């Protein structure tokens, strides 16, 4: 199926990516021949997304705004099979990491990526990283506008931007086009939220200085409403202020969130607005033609309204409880009647969260070709999304996903855990994440129980860098190392829902690795005893506070 519903590279994009592959091939050759030292080579490989982790090199592949064609997904599967160990890890940045890549094979892997208009540029370094978006973009019933149009505009502007290639620190931008934030925009360096004002115009709320990591912060709104055609001017102004005043003397204080915190949002707004005023009518102003040209590439697929009540679906719901639960948790409403958005859960009980084998990736591509207009999305919650599925096809899609092991009815539930790679892979980690997630997921595997518990987001990080977003988990789990022993710090009450964004509060002393499941069990039991009506875990926590949870957990462990 052709890539018809999102951006296709033009000659300029292709030339740029091909040149980078050729350059990197030569750089690798020189490194292997001993002509370059590791000190000289390291920044070159990182610029191409190639990290050296505990056991092997890791290639971080950019998936712009989490959107993939089936051709691209099949190519990722082929690369994983040929140059890695036949599987990959989808990340909280909507990217794919291959954890066993060899340096000598990396240029060929990048060449294969270039064949399908992909690359690994800007997945490392102190520059503007891959822009993330709502994974339901272009399909969500609550969407005001497709944010990917703006993501693509930002991608083109930021790619190899000469002024912003050596920022004080990395810079992450997320964009949502819906009032329900599925892109966690308040915890990004810049978060952009499209909304419609009273005059009926759409524009951006600009949120600056959010982030997780060592010093978690919720972003501050520095502009309530930005006309869309001024997006690049305003971003350029923001980056310019950060580039000038952001700290370069202290790695831990170098993100824009620290700058905003230190000077205050008012001063930040003042400085950005002054820069913006000086450049808003410059070449950065987006013309209607430019916007339209990009928007055309994201034209929605021509879906016709269909019946929303399908007898076969209703019948299967009655006879297959797992399917009925799956409809509740993994299927979301679509903007076109008679269609749905399906989330393929990459969290079957006991599996490493976010991992998919090459065969599974190919299976998802086959399903997307047959029933989802050839489109797949990667969610920041480490699942894959089929954005355009007819309701009448849901039974077949369910069975196909079941064969892949991706039909677990657990999206948004306690086993839909976000986990970073942790100490099993990562050179920065202090403790393991994946085995902890596996134990929790195995313990709570029973689907009826999960649905009884309801929406509950567990997020696990293996170090303070917070790649597993533990600060914004309803239950956050942070692995720490204390004198060579892995301990896990539990926090409660984090959230990324719009209007409720909150950072979790540490519950008490960290618990030992083999007590984590017990602790989570105690938290859940406390919630189930105290919840009222349809309260989610986090709602009950907000109502009754930490004390009952604390007493139960520390009584239990």
Partner 1 sequence: MAKNLSGELHVASANRLRDGMVVFLDEAGEWTTRLDRAAVARDERSAEILLARAQAEAFGVVDSFLVAVAESNDGTLEPLSLREKIRASGLTFDAIAAEAVRYA
Interface ranges with partner 1 (CB under 8 A): 31-32, 34, 38, 52-57, 80-81, 85-87, 101-104, 351-352, 355-360, 362-363, 366, 400, 403-405, 423-425, 432, 434-435, 438, 481, 484, 486
What is the C-alpha to C-alpha distance for residues 314 and 310, in angstroms, rounded to an integer?
6
Considering the complex, state which of residue 85 and residue 328 has its C-beta at the smaller distance from partner 1.
Answer: 85
Residue count of the chain: 557
Query: What is the smallest separation between the CB atom of 435 and partner 1, expressed in angstroms?
Result: 5
Q: What are phi and psi of 502, to 5 degrees?
A: -150, 150
Alpha carbon distance 77, 361 (integer Å): 6
What is the C-alpha end-to-end distance of the chain, expressed in Å? 54
Residue 359 or 517: the one with the smaller Cβ distance to partner 1 is 359
Q: Which is nearer to partner 1, 294 or 344 (CB)?
A: 344
Half-sphere exposure of 74 (CA within 13 A, CB side): 14
Report which of 31, 66, 52, 48 is spatially closest to residue 111, judged by C-alpha positions. Answer: 48
Q: For residue 304, give the DSSP letter.
A: P
CB of 352 to partner 1, least distance (A): 6
> CB-wise, 24 or 150, nearer to partner 1?
24
299 contact partners, CB below 8 Å, separation of at least 6: 4, 5
Residue with tokens 């919720």: 218
Rounded to a whole number of angstroms, the minimum distance from the CB of residue 536 to partner 1 is 30
Cα 65 to Cα 174: distance, rounded to the nearest angstrom: 8
CB of 247 to partner 1, least distance (A): 26
Closest separation in Å from C-beta 307 to partner 1:
29
Q: How far is the CB of 210 from partner 1 (least distance, A)?
A: 31
Q: Which is nearer to partner 1, 57 or 298 (by Cβ)? A: 57
Q: State which residue, 33 or 283, has the beta carbon closest to partner 1.
A: 33
Render the burial of 81-92: b for 16+ CB within 10 Å, e for the rest: bebbeebbbbbb
Residue 73 or 286 with smaller CB distance to partner 1: 73
Residue 439 burial (CB count, 10 A): 16
Q: Residues with Cβ < 8 Å from 132, sequence gap 6 or more?
A: 65, 66, 93, 94, 151, 172, 173, 174, 175, 183, 188, 380
Q: What are phi and psi of 105, to 5 degrees?
A: -95, -10
Torsional sign, CA 342, 344, 348, 353: negative
Vertex 295: Cα angle to 294 and 301 (nearest 5):
125
Which contiguous run of DSSP H or E holds residue 31? helix 11-32
In angstroms, give the least distance from the CB of 85 to partner 1.
Answer: 6
Which residue reads 């990722």 in tokens? 76
Both tokens of 500, joined, read 């409720």
Nearer to partner 1, 360 or 373 (CB): 360
What single-letter DSSP state applies at residue 300?
P
Q: Find out whether 219 and 209 touch, Cβ atoms under 8 Å.
A: yes
Q: Which of 350, 423, 416, 487 is nearest to 478 (CA)?
A: 487
Kindly tell me which of 103 and 557 has the beta carbon lying closer to partner 1: 103
For residue 417, the minimal CB distance to partner 1 (Å) is: 14
Give the residue from 197, 231, 2 showing the smallest Cα distance to 117. Answer: 2
Between 46 and 303, name the residue whose CB sits nearer to partner 1: 46
Q: Which is nearer to partner 1, 47 or 358 (CB)?
A: 358
For partner 1, give the closer residue by CB, 56 or 263: 56
Tokens found for residue 358:
């090459």
Q: How far is the CB of 72 from partner 1 (least distance, A)?
A: 17
Please, where are the H alpha helices in 331-416? Answer: 358-371, 394-404
Q: How far is the CB of 27 from partner 1 (least distance, A)?
A: 13
Least Å from the CB of residue 467 to partner 1: 17
Q: How far is the CB of 123 from partner 1 (least distance, A)?
A: 17
Q: How far apart are CA 110 and CA 518, in angstroms?
A: 44
Least distance from partner 1 to the Cβ atom of residue 514, Å: 13
Identify any residues that bridge with 249 across adjacent strands, giving them in sequence order: none
Nearer to partner 1, 50 or 496 (CB): 50
């Amino acid at each position: 199926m052709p890539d018809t519903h999102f951006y296709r590279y033009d000659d300029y994009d292709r030339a740029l990516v091909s040149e980078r592959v050729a350059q990197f091939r030569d750089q690798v050759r020189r490194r292997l021949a001993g002509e370059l030292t590791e000190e000289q080579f390291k920044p070159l490989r990182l610029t191409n997304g190639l990290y050296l982790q505990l056991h092997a090199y890791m290639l971080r592949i950019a998936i712009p705004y989490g959107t993939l064609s089936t051709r691209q997904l099949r190519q990722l599967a082929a690369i994983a099979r040929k140059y890695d160990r036949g599987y990959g890890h989808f990340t909280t940045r909507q990217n794919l990491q291959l954890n066993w890549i060899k340096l000598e094979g990396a240029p060929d892997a990048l060449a294969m990526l270039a064949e399908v208009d992909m690359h690994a540029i800007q997945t490392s370094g102190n520059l503007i990283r891959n822009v993330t978006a709502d994974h339901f973009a272009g399909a969500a019933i609550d969407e005001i506008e497709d944010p990917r149009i703006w993501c693509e505009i930002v991608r083109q502007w930021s790619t190899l931007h000469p002024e912003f290639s050596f920022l004080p620190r990395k810079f992450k931008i997320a964009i949502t086009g819906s009032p329900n934030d599925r892109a966690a925009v308040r915890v990004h360096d810049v978060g952009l939220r499209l909304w419609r004002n009273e005059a009926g115009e759409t524009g951006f709320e600009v949120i600056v200085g959010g982030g997780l990591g060592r010093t978690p912060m919720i972003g501050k709104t520095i502009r309530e409403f930005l006309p869309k055609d001024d997006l690049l001017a305003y971003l350029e102004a923001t980056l310019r202020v950060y580039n000038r005043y952001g700290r370069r003397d202290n790695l831990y204080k170098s993100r824009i969130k620290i700058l905003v915190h230190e000077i205050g949002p008012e001063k930040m707004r003042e400085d950005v607005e002054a820069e913006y005023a000086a450049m808003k009518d410059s070449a950065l102003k987006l013309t209607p033609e430019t916007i339209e040209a990009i928007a055309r590439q994201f034209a929605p697929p021509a879906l016709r309204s269909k019946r929303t009540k399908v007898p076969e679906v209703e019948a299967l719901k009655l006879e297959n409880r797992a399917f009925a639960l799956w409809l509740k948790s993994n299927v979301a409403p679509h903007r076109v009647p008679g269609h749905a958005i399906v989330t393929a859960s990459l969290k079957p009980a006991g599996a490493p969260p976010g991992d998919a084998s090459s065969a599974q990736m190919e299976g998802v591509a086959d399903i997307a070709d047959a029933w989802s207009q050839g489109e797949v999305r990667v969610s920041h919650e480490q699942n894959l999304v089929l954005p355009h599925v007819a309701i009448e096809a849901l039974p077949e899609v369910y069975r196909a996903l079941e064969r892949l092991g991706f039909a677990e009815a657990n999206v948004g539930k306690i086993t839909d855990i976000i986990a970073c790679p942790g100490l099993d892979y990562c050179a920065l980690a202090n403790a393991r994440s994946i085995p902890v997630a596996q134990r929790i997921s195995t313990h709570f595997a029973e689907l009826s129980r999960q649905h009884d518990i309801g929406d509950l987001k567990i997020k696990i990080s293996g170090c303070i860098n917070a790649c597993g977003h533990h600060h914004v988990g309803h239950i956050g789990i942070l692995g720490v190392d204390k004198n060579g022993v892995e301990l896990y710090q539990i926090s409660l009450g984090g959230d990324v829902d719009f209007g409720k964004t909150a950072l979790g509060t540490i519950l008490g002393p960290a618990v030992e690795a083999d007590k984590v499941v017990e602790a989570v069990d105690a938290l859940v039991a406390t919630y189930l005893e105290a919840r009222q009506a349809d309260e989610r875990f986090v709602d009950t926590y907000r109502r009754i506070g930490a004390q009952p949870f604390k007493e139960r957990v520390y009584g239990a462990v």
